[in-house]
Chain A
Amino acid sequence: MSEPILRVDDLGVRSGAGSLLRDVSFHLAGGQRLGLIGESGSGKSLTALAIMGLLPDGLTAHGSIRLDGSQVVGAAERALVGMRGRVASVVFQEPLTALDPLMRLGRQLAEPVQRYRSLSRADLREAVTDALLEVGLDDADRIARSYPHEVSGGQRQRVAIAMALATRPQLLIADEPTTALDVTVQAGILELLDRVISERGMSLLFISHDLAVVSRVADRVVLLRHGEVADRGSLAELIARPQHPYTRELVAGARELDGAIDHPGGLA
């Protein structure tokens, strides 16, 4: 088997004397999709930040994170800059954090497109249009001319995804990418991620608190709780035969609300 695109071994994160994440290990090979599931405070977003070498000041990672073979833990910022975008990109919950409110969306998207390919002005414009079309923004020209506040939340998240994809990464890390969106918009974004990940043969690390959402895009899951791995395995297996008490509780919770939709008027 080839070297995994992402290999996390005994990852921990500390803040001063406190330990926020302990002994987290998982691998992600080319083309695989892994869901990282946990409730608030479980350490799932910290894991994503550690992988990108973006932990806030005061937090330190230990253990090992290899992105396409290169060590992230302890690496110099210069080495990390070379990996971000080329090996892995991130999409966050709130697309506004990734977008500059004062710059037209087309120009913002042109920046990562240009970074890895030197294009003429006309070719760059065309590449930006193509990137917007790829994420399902059919009125690409209007979107490119708009500022972030002039488009809807779902459209902004599509632009953020286009920016993350523009550098042709092998791995996309999506941290609660649909949590701030309406349910009908969420459905569209999940379909989009599912499609582009397949079309490009990329790997996906999908982080969410919502088991049902993860089940739409990932086939394997790692369950985090209080900064540790509580359970892991194939998603189908985990929801069919949850062994760990915490997994059972999560599956039961999701099933009860699902069941209410089929049989309204009370929880099972």
Chain B
Amino acid sequence: MTALLDARGLGFAYRGRPDALAGVSFTVEPGENLGIVGESGAGKSTLLRLLLGLARPSSGELLTDGVVFDARSRATLRAHRLFAQAVFQDPYSSLDPRQSVERIIAEPLRSLRLERSRAAIHTRVAAVLESVGLPADAAGRYPHEFSGGQRQRIAIARAIVPSPRLLLADEPVSALDVSTRVRIIDLLAELGTGADPLTVVVVSHDIGVVAALCTRMLVLENGRVVEQGRTDAVLAAPQHPYTQRLLASVPRLPA
């Protein structure tokens, strides 16, 4: 089976600064959610920018579905939007407050010219609202009428409406309250189980989130991959001292 993502020695440096990423290699197989864990400055956001095509690697290459991804080509970028969609940390700032939920969710359908008829758009928005657990009447309302968790559901609906194969989620629950967090993780986990399964790549500083959602994980420190493997194996017996320290630092409830 062709890997959805195949990163081969990715490197990136911002102008005049030391490497933000160096020699980053990993693969994402269909149906195998990947968690990218690291602290601030580890290179998580830079890696995500490369995966989204918002920046090009200064060394190495990225293959998407077996093909070299060249973010300079417009046609490739459009195809990439169909292949991979993103959800960000802050559901407050990523939704345009002046647009109705239906317009927000339909945006990828319009900009990627996937649907033209109003009726078809309406049907797809209704279907996707249901799959993220929002009521049908949400379509006619505006972002401020929803709680943080519901807004994140709207953002997820917008990301999955063009039926991408990959969902790139950048700290998708960090801005949410604890009780809401678990429900959004449940939702993301469900998306990988349907007839048309979605593979999720989650970038997070929170190991609990990655443990709940991802079969594989990768630990970044100072732009380098210090450890990667099956999540259960890495968490049960972390090999790298940094992974060990990270795991020991996670605040947990007393037994």
Contacts and interface: CB of A to CB of B under 8 A. Distances in A.
Contacts of B205: 182-183
B185 A267 contact: yes
A211 B19 CA distance: 37
A254 B178 contact: yes
A260 B178 CA distance: 14
Nearest to A38: B177
A209 interface: yes
Contact of B182 (A211, A212, A264, A267): A267
Contacts of B186: 267
A267 B212 contact: yes
A183 B231 CA distance: 19
B250 A261 contact: yes
The interface centre, meaning the residue of B177, B206, B207, B248 with most chain A CB atoms within 10 A of its CB, is: B177
A256 B248 CA distance: 18
Main SS at interface, chain A: helix
Tier of interface size on chain B:
20 to 34
A260 B208 CA distance: 6
Contacts of A239: 253-254
Contacts of A253: 178-179, 181-182
Interface stretch (A52-60, A126-134, A184-192, A199-207): A184-192
- Which of A186, A216, A249, A256 counts the most B-chain CB atoms under 10 A from its CB? A256
B252 interface: yes
Interface string A75-116: 000000000000000000000000000000000000000000
A95 B40 CA distance: 16
A-B interface, 6 closest residue pairs, ranked by CB to CB distance from nearest = A257-B208, A260-B212, A182-B39, A187-B249, A260-B211, A39-B177
Interface of B: 39-40, 148, 177-179, 181-182, 185-186, 189, 205-209, 211-212, 214-215, 231-232, 235, 245-254
Interface of A: 39-40, 153, 182-187, 190, 209-213, 215-216, 236, 239, 249-258, 260-267
